[in-house]
Amino acid sequence: MKKIILIFFVFTIMLSSCKKEDNKPKQTRLKTYTHEYYERIPASLDKYTIEYNSANKISKVIYESNGVLYSTKYCVYTASNVLDSIIEKFATGGSSFYKIIWTGNKISKYGTTTLTYNSDGLVDKKTYLEGDYFRNEYKGDSVLLYFKDISVPEKISNRYKLSSTIKNPFLISGFEAEAYLTGILFYYNDASNALLPNIETTQIAYINGNLWYRRDYTFEGDFNGYPLKRNDLTNTLDANRSKETFTYEEF
């Protein structure tokens, strides 16, 4: 009788553990990202396929250009699962190496570029080896980006308007602390904005303080609040009109 009770007790615990696992909320992360410039002659299509390790960190990004393998980027971690470096190996031979330096739980340097943060934990400034820099100013639903060359005064470079509802695909669950590095992994130009919870809906660029081009994005589809497509149909530079598509996985 005691043996039966013991078996029943063990079975109950196992069943309870399974139910807890089933009830664990699932997270969403980016699986593939494509960026197609359809107005260019010839048109170009970049595709990034992302693989993750057992700790749910990005382990590898496979980059194809117009259907041909261009390079593979590997994320190298320490024994405690802290990102140490990124190695990019090119299909034609050769490689690039990016060493990551951390200060506390923030990336403070990659390669020769230094990052500093504001009191909200967002990137405040990106400073290059020579001393020129980009500086971010956060204004509610907008981000103002300033650039200073060493020889000239600081000037506004870009202005971004953010969505209030559409989640940012580049702020990947499990990879939040490393989000800035999507600028290396996916050639995502707005690397500082990768740390923000929502994605851009408008981008205005300036040269010497004057309007250079404007992008107004439209969105299609929905996967747990993340967009399936972002269209740049109104770019004032025809050759930069494009569409981005995203696929995701739950884990």
Residues composing the chain: 251
What's the pLDDT at 75? 98
> What average pLDDT does the structure give for the chain?
90
What's the pLDDT at 18? 52
Residues 6+ apart with CB under 8 A from 108: 101, 102, 114, 115, 116
Q: What percent of the chain has pLDDT over 90?
A: 76
Q: How far apart are CA 107 and CA 130, in angstroms?
A: 20
Indicate the domain borders of the chain.
27-250
- pLDDT tens, residue by residue, 135-176: 999 998 999 999 999 999 999 999 999 999 999 999 999 999
Residues 6+ apart with CB under 8 A from 27: 56, 173, 174, 250, 251
Q: What is the mean pLDDT of residues 177-187?
A: 92
Confidence of residue 22 (pLDDT cuts 50, 70, 90): low
SS3 letters for 33-51?
Answer: EEEEECCCCCCEEEEEEEE
Which residue type occupies 91?
A
Q: What is the mean pLDDT of residues 90-114?
A: 96
What's the pLDDT at 16? 52
Residue with the bigger pLDDT between 219 and 39: it is 219
What's the pLDDT at 208? 82
Q: What is the mean pLDDT of residues 99-112?
A: 96
pLDDT at 223 over 60: yes
CA angle 51, 22, 170 (to 5 degrees): 30
Confidence of residue 188 (pLDDT cuts 50, 70, 90): confident
What's the pLDDT at 232? 92
What phi and psi values does residue 56 have, to the nearest 5 degrees? 65, 30
E-strand ranges in the chain read 28-37, 44-52, 58-65, 68-77, 83-90, 95-103, 106-110, 113-117, 123-127, 133-139, 142-148, 155-167, 198-207, 210-220, 229-232, 242-250
Residues 6+ apart with CB under 8 A from 195: 121, 122, 123, 171, 176, 179, 180
- pLDDT tens, residue by residue, 53-89: 999 999 999 999 999 999 999 999 999 999 999 999 9
What's the pLDDT at 6? 43
Q: Which of 180, 186, 192, 30 is nearest to 100 (CA)?
A: 180
Question: What's the CATH fold of domain 27-250?
Answer: Porin (2.40.160)
CA atoms within 13 A on the CB side of 97: 3
